[in-house]
Structure 1
């Protein structure tokens, strides 16, 4: 057989001894740092995963807060719009009521003014009619009383009509 294909016992012995020495040296000097590095890497990965989970939870909380704030802002906007609409409606109604009241007051003043003007005009017409009647009566009496007999007859008729008590 070919010595390269079938190992001899001595070679096998020395390979096992060399493997054990290398294994002992690796376990003594290299295995601990490698395991330490692997543990550190595992801890770093766990820490990163927990931080990612915390960040995810914080993002969900922030999203919920943002939605709540948005809802509150919309409600506040609706409230402010309603108050503004109510205030505008109230102002319009007040202005309308004030205008109606002012119109009624002006109409009443106009009525009073018309009544007063009517009374003044009637008084003036009566005074004018009285003055005119007196003027007409004076002219008629002057015509009738041009002679002395007509004057005496008129005085007697007045005295007879006037009751003397």
Structure 2
């Protein structure tokens, strides 16, 4: 079974279970994206955004990612702007946006999203969070000098490097 077959099966499940539509939308959208049907993924993610679907993945960030994939950068940036205006309390949507922009090589924008995410952590969490490590890594990439927050998580960054090295060997 290829990705398109899997997406069609998931779409059938979506249609057969209208009461579970909100819970299934993101999974079906991801399947269509994997199958290369950006148009259908965008339709489903737009619906998820309009329904304000709550999930571990932020529908707006996923929608922005698919829009970037489809070469619709202005629309993708508009989704990220709308996310910023919605001011979620959780750090997770900001973290997802930061990772998206980091993957795209847009490090200054990634830093803005990391700063927004870290601001939603309590002070004790900031010094223990790999989210803060992501911020540190982006700041290094931008050539910025370490600030107090960077210094507080350098030990986590070293630990992460060590784990990655062990996994690669």
With normalisation by structure 1, the TM-score equals 0.18
Which structure ranks higher in relative contact order (CA pairs < 8 Å, sequence separation ≥ 6)?
A: 2
Larger radius of gyration: 1
With normalisation by structure 2, the TM-score equals 0.18
